[in-house]
Amino acid sequence: MPNAYLCALDTLGNGGDRCAARLSGLIDHFERATGLQDTPEMARHLQDWRDATHRIASRRYYDFTA
């Protein structure tokens, strides 16, 4: 899993609302910041990594809301 998703998980855990909408926003930010969204060969993997990140967040944080 690319660092963009790990950064999103860590940022989510640093405080604030632990909800799916905030995590999606963080994922989008880190994907753009690292250039993942601009790389055509990575495009087919993005949704799978997003889904995996949401599953990890729901297991890691007891107060994560979908």
What residue type is 28 in one-letter code?
A: D
- pLDDT reported for residue 35: 93
Which pLDDT does position 50 carry in this prediction? 97
1 vs 9: CA distance, rounded Å: 12
Question: What is the mean pLDDT, run by run of 10 residues, along the chain of 66 residues?
Answer: 94 93 97 93 93 96 90
Evaluate the CA torsion angle 24, 30, 32, 34 in order and state its sign.
negative
- What pLDDT sits at residue 66? 81
Work out the number of other CB atoms within 10 angstroms of the CB of residue 33: 11
For the chain, the helix, strand and coil percentages under 3-state DSSP, each to the nearest 5: 75, 5, 20
Q: What are phi and psi of 20, to 5 degrees?
A: -60, -35
